[in-house]
Chain A
């Protein structure tokens, strides 16, 4: 692995005529100035200034401590990935493990041994998880809405409260611009896949707006082998189709010192749930509908900046399964209001303080509610050569008259030992927690109203190295982490009648998780109009059950947490042509508690080629993508096969051309 990292690094650095030069973190392209003598002697000479390309570093979300390990995907990276959903994007370009039930099934994130309910997802700083299930189906989040993504690894409750045990995903949605922009795209591919999307943005003066929409459908009826049948048969995946529609709108008002945004997002999905491939599809279906409105404002307050935000989100989930005669609909509502004041502390740094209130409701058990409130203080203190980032948040969550108060402290340290070398050392220790979901408390049958929050502490240390030259940029990071989780909620069976088991959750488990996260990213401008970029994420995670020494699960790797994941991607751009490849290698995943049974490791490679024509009316791009080029038969979750090799084509038109 170390050799491969060095190989990648050398591709972006050698030859190195300017190695001894001081890094230029902003300018990435420079040509020497041209000096000539004009024919008109009234001007002694003219100088043609050198061409400079500025590659800015995406501003980290203010809530992310500088000491944390973060993977950043800016707008170019999102577009270059070719991913249609946030699940695909994170699966390809982050160190997180995306656990997905087939190609159209539920997709959740696992980071540092924690599961989907223990990883927070924020949309423009506001939580998006369904309070009933505690998780987000990332396959229903289209990248159409997304401008950038930051994946923050590790404990994040000091700023984000409940759910940030394994990490926090910060999604930023598109920002409208006053210059007119129009974009339309459509395409299709295997298994009757069709998609069409459109985006329009524009404005005048202080006002700008953006609307976008997308429709996607697929039958998902790929072939797979069913070895549970006698004799074994090759069948088509039946009942796995999906239809999704998304609409997004945003309006922005930008004053001299203020900025206000109002945004709305609606998505509706209908998909088949074919169930495990060992059985024929029973015709189960699920309908997801989500509507969300949120507003954000930024205004000066003295020497500081006040940020206000509020959101209301309503979701409806219907599950129907004819064989079991089940037809169930649940409605949930989540509302939040936040206020944050960021204040500079002269040369010492800055301090941010804030408060948030929230209200959640679910139609379970005749209707259940939850009120929450929190206050936090987060500071960045520059004590050269160190930077300290202490923070503490106090959450109070009340459900049916039973308030729970949880403090979440955090301390981060960052050290840049050398001024002229992009070397950074960082360390962080923090507490995180997860409040039980509505399902865990009130689901009928089996919910446990008296459940307590899960509680965890994370310690991590890391080193990052960044080298920037006029024609190249390289970033290498390594992070070691350790997490201890107590009161972990697990579902356990009990008999309610002869032969009838009901599963109920209880706070009985403990987890120790530790590991290593390595990443390298780079970009090299070889010649005019020819550039290379790429990167790699490698993660090793030992996430062990540490609840009961008498149990065979003690010391065993948690189910569906791979010990190793490795992602590798590369991209070449020449004039209007771009070619990219993404590889994923995921190690064995145990599906038993005692490591006695596992799913085989799998490797997938996706390739993508696109050509873009620029002309006066706009830009036209044709893109072809082949997924699973190696045609591997694999499952992320047992008995939920993923599609074999298949292709899609996409045509995109955007206006204007620049």
Chain B
């Protein structure tokens, strides 16, 4: 919680007469603020003491070429560097225990890997071989990971129920696979539980993070295609429903203890990444959730997007702003989003156009840096098909 009034109280104290009511009121106010943890000398935001060393953009690569890579952007000197890391098609990134986890799909064997890198030199440290193409990874404990696995599809493109892999991070092995719903995607961990979004079912599978079993399957009424799952600073589970058909996109806020929906925030346009990767981002420092309506071409109804970015204040659970990405004849769609609360920069990645004006998945993309109003500040080139944004930070 921020406090913007504490400095005015201090300024008035030396000139105030010691009238008892006013003094006592002021004293009580300061005490109350201190007890609640507000920083009287500035923002309570921990990000203010940390610096962003690198903005890491995972370039998924061309699926058949299996050429995933990373682009590292240094916001201090505004330089971008491409790092080839010998991974296949990158689905997502995650950070845990000072390591960067790269989740990739190796295609031919219908499986995948999770490769861990140190966050200094980004050199590979370990690797987990996953029996199915992995989507996202979350960490219910320090030495355990949960990985959502891609569903198989029948001849009508209907997904079949899939699994979550339980990964032992000490010996880098998959110890168990837990049955969940169809098209499991994002995972959020709160209250000793893991909430897995089953995108094709409109449900959440709730796993016991100790027993690695599904306790309940929560139905999410009027939530079409739940995908991204975050846990905010109020310890609420935020689920982004991408929308589709008759159902609008929205963000649901659930209590992890009661497993009930507390708030719903409607967004206004279908949410999605043109690369089917990162379509939402939660900034802990800013307590804001960003979602992109990224499939603005070739998706068609009901998947057609608008090129907008929605910002939700997760402290008050309201839609704070709708930003429009600047038009560009050479760029199309949105594929990933991230917000750096330290520099207050919004990053969004886009694809170049192909022969007919649609997205080109076999060429370098572009990352735009926008201000909080959605105006472009600068841009830089990424690798092939950028798909996920993360921030590496250090304490000063």
Contact = CB atoms under 8 A, between A and B. Distances in A.
A445 B225 CA distance: 23
Contacts of B108: 274-276, 278-282, 284, 323
Given A228-B86, A593-B362, A498 B356 contact: no
Nearest to A326: B110
A496 B299 CA distance: 8
Interface in B200-236: 200, 225, 227
Interface string B101-140: 0000011111101010000000011110000000000000
B300 to A, nearest CB: 7
Interface residues of A, number: 50
B153 A230 contact: no
A548 B357 contact: yes
B359 A493 contact: yes
B157 to A, nearest CB: 5
Contact of B157 (A500, A545, A594): A500
Interface in A97-122: none
Given A323-B109, A497-B157, A548-B355, A559 B300 contact: no
A556 B303 CA distance: 32
A550 B358 CA distance: 11
A508 B355 contact: yes
A280 B109 contact: yes
Interface string A534-556: 00000000000101101111000
Residue among B87, B354, B364 with max Cβ neighbours from chain A (10 Å): B354
B157 A496 contact: yes
B276 A552 contact: no
Contacts of A235: none
B67 interface: yes
B298 interface: yes
B329 interface: yes
Given A229-B127, A501-B276, A279 B299 contact: no
Contacts of A498: 183, 199-200, 225, 227, 242, 244, 272, 276, 303
A596 interface: yes
Interface in A501-525: 501-502, 506, 508-510
A547 B356 contact: yes
Contact of B360 (A229, A495, A551): A551
Contacts of B153: 500
A276 B107 contact: yes
B354 A553 contact: yes
Contacts of B361: 493
Given A282-B110, A498-B242, A552 B127 contact: no
A422 to B, nearest CB: 45
A413 B102 CA distance: 61
Interface string B302-327: 01000000000000000000000000
Consensus secondary structure, chain A interface: loop
B363 A594 contact: yes
Contacts of A234: none
A232 to B, nearest CB: 8
A230 B127 contact: yes
B88 to A, nearest CB: 5
A254 interface: no
Nearest to A547: B355
Interface in B66-123: 66-67, 86-88, 106-111, 113, 115
Nearest to A545: B355
Contacts of A629: none
Nearest to B127: A230
A552 B67 CA distance: 18
A266 interface: no
A325 interface: yes
A593 B109 CA distance: 26
Contacts of A492: 298, 354-356, 358
Interface of A: 227-230, 274-276, 278-282, 284, 321, 323-325, 445, 490, 492-502, 506, 508-510, 545, 547-548, 550-553, 559, 591-594, 596-597, 638-639
8 contacts: A279-B107, A279-B108, A495-B298, A498-B227, A506-B356, A547-B356, A551-B355, A592-B363
Interface of B: 62, 65-67, 86-88, 106-111, 113, 115, 124-127, 152-153, 157, 183, 199-200, 225, 227, 242, 244, 272, 276, 295, 298-300, 303, 329-330, 352-364, 383-384
